[in-house]
Structure 1
Amino acid sequence: MAEPKEVPEDSSKVSFWLPGNYQRTVLRTQDSHQACKDIVACFQDRARVEKQYAQQLSDWSSKWKTIIDSRPLYGSLLRAWQCFFSSAERLSTLHSSISQALGSEEGERIRLWQKETFQKKMFYGFRETYDFSMGFSRAQKPWVKKLKKLEKARAAYHKTSQREQTAVDRENQAKGNPNLSEQKLNKIQQAKEKASQDRDKARSRYEKVLEDVTGYAPRYMEEMEAVFDQSQEAERKRISFIKQAFLSIHRHLDITNNDSVKAVYSELHHTIMSISEQDDLRWWKNNHGPGMPTDWPKIEEWVPPVKKQKRGKRPKQEAPDRSVMIGGVKVKALYDYKGEEEDELSFKAGEEFLKIEEEDDQGWCRGVKEGGAEGFYPANYVQLIQ
Structure 2
Amino acid sequence: MSHHSDDNMLIASSDSFWEPGNHKRTTKRIEDGYRLCNDLITLIQERSDIEKAYSKSLKGWSKKWNEIIEKGPEYGTTEAAWKGVLVEADRLCDLHIRVKDDLCNDIMQQVKTWQKDNYHKTVLHIKERKEMEESFKKAQKPWCKLLTKVNKTKNEYHIACKAEKSASNQERNASADSSLSMDQVKKMQDRVAKSKEEVQKAKEKYEMALQELNAYNPKYMEDMTVVFDRCQETEARRLQFFKDTLFTIHKCLNISQDPVLPQIYEEFYHTINNADHEKDLRWWSNNHGVNMAMNWPLFEDYIEEFRDISKGKIKESIPAGTITLINQRSVGEDLHVNDLHSTHPKINSKKQTVTLSRSEDSTDDHKQSTEKSNGTKSHPITFLMKGSCTGPYIPVLIGKIDYTCSIFPYVFRNSF
Q: TM-score, normalised by structure 2?
A: 0.58
Letter of the 1:102 counterpart: L
Q: Is the deviation greater in 22-31 or in 62-71?
A: 62-71
- Superposition pairs for residues 1-386 of structure 1, below 5 Å? 3=1, 14-120=15-121, 125-256=125-256
Aligned counterparts of 2:4 and 2:77: Cα–Cα separation in 1: 57
Q: Deviations over 1:350-378 (max 9, x none)?
A: xxxxxxxxxxxxxxxxxxxxxxxxxxxxx
SS at 2:255's partner residue?
Answer: coil
Q: Deviations over 1:319-372 (max 9, x none)?
A: xxxxxxxxxxxxxxxxxxxxxxxxxxxxxxxxxxxxxxxxxxxxxxxxxxxxxx
Q: Deviations over 1:14-46 (max 9, x none)?
A: 211111110110011111111111111121111
- Measured after TM superposition, the shift of residue 13 of structure 1 is 7.2
Change beyond 3 A, Cα 1:214–1:37: same
Letter of the 1:35 counterpart: L
Letter of the 1:97 counterpart: R
Aligned counterparts of 1:123 and 1:72: Cα–Cα separation in 2: 67
Aligned counterparts of 1:249 and 1:231: Cα–Cα separation in 2: 27
Change beyond 3 A, Cα 1:204–1:177: same
- Measured after TM superposition, the shift of residue 7 of structure 1 is 9.5
Equivalenced residue count is 254
Change beyond 3 A, Cα 1:208–1:4: closer
- Measured after TM superposition, the shift of residue 73 of structure 1 is 3.3
Aligned counterparts of 1:18 and 1:166: Cα–Cα separation in 2: 34
Aligned counterparts of 2:80 and 2:232: Cα–Cα separation in 1: 61
Change beyond 3 A, Cα 1:217–1:6: closer
Change beyond 3 A, Cα 1:69–1:33: same
Change beyond 3 A, Cα 1:250–1:123: closer
Match of 1:367 in 2: none
Letter of the 2:22 counterpart: N
Letter of the 1:178 counterpart: S
Task: Report the structure number with the largest CA radius of gyration.
Answer: 2
Aligned counterparts of 1:57 and 1:174: Cα–Cα separation in 2: 99
Aligned counterparts of 1:42 and 1:164: Cα–Cα separation in 2: 67
Letter of the 1:18 counterpart: E
Aligned counterparts of 1:75 and 1:123: Cα–Cα separation in 2: 68
8 A Cα contact 1:156 1:202, kept in partner: yes
SS at 2:177's partner residue?
Answer: coil
Aligned counterparts of 1:65 and 1:219: Cα–Cα separation in 2: 78
Aligned counterparts of 2:147 and 2:26: Cα–Cα separation in 1: 22
Change beyond 3 A, Cα 1:14–1:6: closer
Q: Deviations over 1:186-218 (max 9, x none)?
A: 221111111111111111111111111111111
- Measured after TM superposition, the shift of residue 4 of structure 1 is 5.5
- Measured after TM superposition, the shift of residue 124 of structure 1 is 5.9
- Measured after TM superposition, the shift of residue 129 of structure 1 is 0.8
Q: Deviations over 1:267-317 (max 9, x none)?
A: xxxxxxxxxxxxxxxxxxxxxxxxxxxxxxxxxxxxxxxxxxxxxxxxxxx
Q: Mark the runs of 5 or more structure 1 residues left unpaired by the alignment.
A: 258-386
- Measured after TM superposition, the shift of residue 118 of structure 1 is 0.7
Change beyond 3 A, Cα 1:194–1:209: same
Aligned counterparts of 1:5 and 1:206: Cα–Cα separation in 2: 41
SS at 2:217's partner residue?
Answer: helix
Letter of the 1:85 counterpart: L
Q: Deviations over 1:119-154 (max 9, x none)?
A: 24x676222112110110001111111111111101
Question: RMSD of the alignment, in Å?
Answer: 2.3
Letter of the 2:119 counterpart: F
8 A Cα contact 1:19 1:140, kept in partner: yes
- Measured after TM superposition, the shift of residue 156 of structure 1 is 0.5
Letter of the 1:191 counterpart: R
- Measured after TM superposition, the shift of residue 72 of structure 1 is 3.8
Report percent identity of matched pairs.
Answer: 34
Letter of the 1:90 counterpart: R
Aligned counterparts of 2:25 and 2:4: Cα–Cα separation in 1: 19
Q: Flag as ranges the 4+ runs of structure 1 deviating above 4 A.
A: 4-9
Letter of the 1:226 counterpart: V
Aligned counterparts of 1:71 and 1:13: Cα–Cα separation in 2: 78
Q: TM-score, normalised by structure 1?
A: 0.62
- Measured after TM superposition, the shift of residue 103 of structure 1 is 2.1
Aligned counterparts of 1:37 and 1:117: Cα–Cα separation in 2: 13
Change beyond 3 A, Cα 1:4–1:229: closer
8 A Cα contact 1:124 1:130, kept in partner: no
